[in-house]
Structure 1
């Protein structure tokens, strides 16, 4: 756990960059610090690894006052990713990632294995990229290497200072998605600084909004959107952001939970009777644990009615599915490429929670715009 107790940073001229800030970050949480320029967000983050020493108060990591720790050792045990990436241009990618493990005295075989593991984790093939130099990589690839380097010694805390700020929008969105996936696997304690509220809402388990060195509100994205505690917070977020941005709507809010399922060994005749009774054009096929294994269209069923014994022979694999943690935006992007016009929404056990169709998307988004119009009247 990481904790700030009445922490301030005062410069010689009396300017308070951070003013009596207190908060806790539980282990494994993704906390985003956000605010306008000069709000103190970057200073707050840099005090965690003593890149900027705090003037008063106490910063604790796992119950230890950081001022009682060796600063160099502290930094080796905290991952750090910055906007400028900071790769050494004369080092290979492998050497860049290996820097901290080498400083910690790891043996060569362990380091090599770790580099290979991390490059694979961030989507770069070790056989191709290990021996390359930073100038041979794109900006997005370099930032992936920066993330891999921050993870090299398996730190429990990772600091990220506007890591995607210099990237183009498409690469930035891709890396945001990859970071979410990485965090779901690794469960690191991450402190992430950004000036982009959409990025904060997408990534953060909780978001800390700062202004003039003060912490105005620290809450979940949902709480900030619906219950801003300060006028500045409301203005900074944007009153109608959740209505205007499908990325902030859960896919669950745009699906129907009326799902008709069948086992794979059902005869085509019985499946057709079921579909006519339920007035559906697609049937979800599940296994004995009710996990999705296929989708069957009425068109394919009628066409092959005399040629098959069981419906599993003509069902299609469930390639276009979304987990219940996805967003409405994910559904909007996917729906145009879905041949049968439906997207099953599944949980971690691959059980179907509901279905997204063009109709459910249109209905949900239309109601959002209706709500917006009523609020503006």
Structure 2
């Protein structure tokens, strides 16, 4: 059974209905401060924490007096622009007393569908976490239209968990777990404590009903579970409305855990290894030895570049005597890689005419 106190990296999804009072449209400040206490507790256990938070449109529509009616796209985007400032400030004010720094990260579906943007997002989030920051992630509702939207933060949270290699994803919901049927309609519905495999029968049990200000129902949560567990991340659904919901989950509050069979790093390596390479880099003996010791691939160790690949594309890594060592996701195009091969990382900017990343393939983006 997964426990929060054992987590290395946790993504927590917070829905609008938890953050914003559905009658007054005001922020539930007391609840948010209890969540901040939970985040400080998790970080005290040594875990990295990322919050995926809805609420910008719900907050903004109250400020703009747009009421409870359905909003046109341009009204939703205007409300998001107004509400996002308040949402970020609320998290900053709640976490500052615990000496926790926050960052705002706004994304769209394109940021994960495009491999170059995906790697840039991953690098930024990794850097923030390495600096002890708690990123507050939300869909960029100000610019997102249907074709570039996740549409619900359950799947966005799962994508973030996959991107950063989280080992646990917690969906704070208006229900206390996954049930065999909708418990508000069927009194015989039973809750699952643990689901080890998402079968067709489990999929049929998921309903469509959403709640209040939120967009997702149980089907979106199940889709999130499928995405997360395939990447080695366990996922829990638990009721988020009580104060200190994360500590309550740790202490036995009702929940459903979806278990993962792989750890996140192994799942990511398997994904990278299964890709078809778009090019090849030949490395010298020194670089080959460094890779075997868990190091990233630096331009200085590259002897030759072949193929046509872009940033974020999979590239085969070949060592001396033409032996394939593995493959990874390149942080440079084929042309850039060829220009900086054999050069020190400190010479990249002078060679390319603009700053670049020190590693051509980072060890986290490599399967040997």
TM-score normalised over the length of structure 1: 0.30
Max Rg structure: 1
Name the one with the larger strand percent: 1
TM-score normalised over the length of structure 2: 0.31
